[in-house]
Amino acid sequence: MVELTDIVLFVRATTAGSLSAAGRELGLSPAVASKRLARIEAELGVQLIHRTSRQLSLTEDGRIYLEHCQAILSEVEDAEHAITGERAEPHGLLKISASVAFGRHWVGPCAAEFCRRYPNVSVQMLLSDSIVNLIEGQFDLAIRIGGLDDSSMISRKLAANRRVVCAAPSYLEKYGAPRLPHDLLQHQCLVLLRPGMSSLEWALRVDGTVQTFRVGAALSTDNGDLVHDWVLAGHGLSLRSIWDVADDLAAGRLVTVLDDYALDSADIHAVYPSRRFAPAKTRLFIETLKSYLQDKMPL
């Protein structure tokens, strides 16, 4: 059976990107660290790491083994805290992935509040609109909106999400509000360009079915923040996710229209590597973010 100290070395090596660096952290010489890794691979009968003079990379077996090793060490850590009475006080680095706009608007403020509440936890957030590999990136969790394609991950629903048609009061005072989806063709609409989707059509729900309607595209862009700026400035109607405009709606800066035709959108989830137990810091942050979103975001 592989020894726990060797598991710690393996995990540290993947985090540091170097077996010798992990050895130094643990007070081991490069030769001893190399022998211990070779001992793990011999015990398992597989190669875990591709080693070159400059870098270290995981094999497919290594990625699978890393996931389970992280779970083992997390459970050992939780067991220690349970015995010492520190279970309610999470600690350590919490690494989070989120999309740029949602991470900045919602996850970031919640993370700052979380760190104030739990000073023994530090949070590292990486914002990207690309889907990152949680195992390779050593992430504790990701916050994602939309379909969840990776069945090897555990997901927790944080909040419902829907799309609304909205505009600034100044626009509605000047041009009036559309009463039916077909009226959108006569309005100035602000369109977010998406790959594979027509820039002149919006999807709305009519009598329980999703239908597409042509819109009058006054301005269009591939940048969601710019669309947000345009709609706040009164340049037209916009189809937005509720999380993006929740603050503006609450403050009266924007008003929804065509509410009877609002389209359900992809819900917001926390996603983390498949394991029986997530670390206490991860579980607690997920619950904190869920409460934060449900308190501040209209459903």
Same-domain pairing of 77 and 14: yes
Tell me: pLDDT of 115 over 90: yes
Nearest residue to 40 (alpha-carbon basis) of 68, 77, 3: 3
Instruction: For residues 267 and 264, give the distance between their C-alpha atoms in angstroms, rounded to a whole number.
Output: 9
**Residue 214 near residue 185, CB atoms below 8 Å:** yes
Same-domain pairing of 200 and 230: yes
| Mean of pLDDT values over 61-72 | 82
Same-domain pairing of 200 and 282: no
Q: What is the pLDDT of residues 9-30, one digit of tens each?
A: 888 888 777 888 888 878 888 8
Which residues lie closer than 8 Å to 188 by C-beta, 6 or more apart? 171, 175, 216, 218, 219, 235, 236, 237
Q: Calculate ∠ Cα 103-106-112, nearest 5°.
A: 90
Instruction: For residues 35 and 209, give the distance between their C-alpha atoms in angstroms, rounded to a whole number.
Output: 62
Determine which helix (DSSP H) or strand (DSSP E) holds 210, and give its type and residue range: strand 209-214
**In the listed set 56, 83, 110, which residue is the last one of a domain according to the structure?**
83
Q: Which tokens is 10 given?
A: 């393996």
Specify the pLDDT at position 98: 94
Specify the pLDDT at position 108: 95
| Mean of pLDDT values over 56-65 | 84
Torsion over CA: 260, 264, 269, 275 (sign): positive
Q: What is the pLDDT of residues 252-264, one digit of tens each?
A: 999 999 998 887 6
Q: Where residue 33 sits, what CATH number does that domain have? A: 1.10.10.10
**Residue 254 near residue 167, CB atoms below 8 Å:** yes
Domain count, the chain: 3
**In the listed set 83, 115, 130, which residue is the last one of a domain according to the structure?**
83
Same-domain pairing of 77 and 113: no
User: What pTM value is reported for the model?
Assistant: 0.63
**In the listed set 63, 83, 103, which residue is the last one of a domain according to the structure?**
83
Same-domain pairing of 255 and 177: yes
Same-domain pairing of 124 and 73: no
Instruction: For residues 71 and 165, give the distance between their C-alpha atoms in angstroms, rounded to a whole number.
Output: 43
Same-domain pairing of 189 and 245: yes
Domain span including residue 167: 162-264
Instruction: Please name the amino acid found at residue 121.
Output: V
| Mean of pLDDT values over 161-188 | 93
Q: What is the pLDDT of residues 181-227, one digit of tens each?
A: 999 999 999 998 876 655 678 888 888 788 888 888 889 888 888 99
Same-domain pairing of 121 and 56: no
Same-domain pairing of 166 and 258: yes
Instruction: For residues 24 and 34, give the distance between their C-alpha atoms in angstroms, rounded to a whole number.
Output: 12
Specify the pLDDT at position 276: 47
Q: Where residue 280 sits, what CATH number does that domain have? A: 3.40.190.10
Same-domain pairing of 150 and 278: yes
Instruction: For residues 205 and 262, give the distance between their C-alpha atoms in angstroms, rounded to a whole number.
Output: 6
Nearest residue to 182 (alpha-carbon basis) of 209, 208, 163, 201: 201
Number of H helices and E strands in the chain, helices first, is: 10, 15
Same-domain pairing of 124 and 271: yes
Specify the pLDDT at position 23: 85
Same-domain pairing of 102 and 150: yes
Please, is 16 exposed, middle or buried when counting C-beta atoms within 10 Å of its C-beta (0-12, 13-18, 19+)? Answer: middle
